[in-house]
Structure 1
């Protein structure tokens, strides 16, 4: 399935835009829930398929966002990124223990590195997701709501981009090493 950055970011863009103009985290959360389900519908209509991560994110924002709105308690929506990050970490770790390195399965068709290096890349991503979950909690409980919203929207995306580049450089260095050995 094609990844479309706009579709992936739609709920987050909506959340930030509503929050930025209203400073109302409950309204922004409600919009995020609606846009998450719209995102699912668009994926189904355009690509005929919905990815597991998109389903997971939609279910988490629906549950945690719904609890935020019902109980008028922003803690739930602030926990959602941590839960998502940690689910990603655990799923990468468990799949690797079961002999199915998800990162390798995703990229192996295009990149050739040793199984040991694929395991390292997988563990790097596990560590990244664990750290991101912890960082989200620190920012959520140590800073203002507005700082947390900015981190959620821009910081998380920025750190993900930087880490993707770092892991890409690691993979590139290992492919170069393999080519030199041949």
Structure 2
């Protein structure tokens, strides 16, 4: 798919594309008028539909789909499909672990080979950032994603489904946004042009 940096989604549009499907998952799980045990499966179906809609919207409206969003979308469709087909919620619960783990591994590999991979994904969002800045940003997010993979495993294996979903809503999303904000002072010290910066995150919140 051709990437057109001039039409890349930013601000509210970027936030809705990245977080919107997850919010649909939460809302359907909490509000769907179905018996408790099957809510997770209904919510998973809605999550899959919302993710596909977000991908199509980004592709049609902006002619740009973030590689991380595409990766997340494929995982949602595959693991969500297995969740519904096999009636086993483990697949959708382990999806964030796989996503975080793979992204952390890719970022770590990039750093080990001298290539801060986040620059390929977010280059247009952080103008003026030095190579040192990209290295530190990639390192910080690699650590964050690795920690989140471990935390997700610990939570879903040792709590109820409702608690896990609440943790994603009230724990994961705020933690991700706060971590992104915490990186801003470092980015400014390493050449970030704040006036031209487009609000962006390394990827969709899982």
TM-score by length of 2: 0.77
- For the pair shown, the structure with the greater C-alpha radius of gyration is 1
Shift of 1:31: 0.7
Partner of 2:98: 83
Task: Write 1 or 2 for the structure with the bigger share of helix.
Answer: 1
TM-score by length of 1: 0.86
Shift of 1:137: 0.9
Query: Do structure 1's residue 69 and structure 2's residue 84 form an aligned pair?
Result: yes
Partner of 2:24: 14
Partner of 1:98: 113
C-alpha contact 2:9 2:58 (8 A) present in aligned 1: no
- Of structures 1 and 2, the one with the larger relative CO (CA 8 A, separation 6+) is 2
CA distance in 2, matches of 1:53, 1:121: 16
Which residue of the other structure, out of 59, 66, 84, is the alignment partner of 1:51?
A: 66
Report the CA distance shift for 1:61/1:118 in structure 2 as closer, same or farther (over 3 A). Answer: same
Shift of 1:25: 0.1
- List per-residue Cα deviations over 1:137-161 (Å, max 9, x = no partner): 1111112211110122332111111
Partner of 1:2: 9
Report the CA distance shift for 1:68/1:94 in structure 2 as closer, same or farther (over 3 A). Answer: same
- List per-residue Cα deviations over 1:100-133 (Å, max 9, x = no partner): 21234535862444x4453233211111000001
Could you tell me which runs of 5 or more consecutive residues in structure 2 were left unpaired when the two chains were aligned: 1-7, 193-206
Could you tell me which runs of 5 or more consecutive residues in structure 1 were left unpaired when the two chains were aligned: 177-182
- List per-residue Cα deviations over 1:59-100 (Å, max 9, x = no partner): 101111111111111111000011111111112122233332
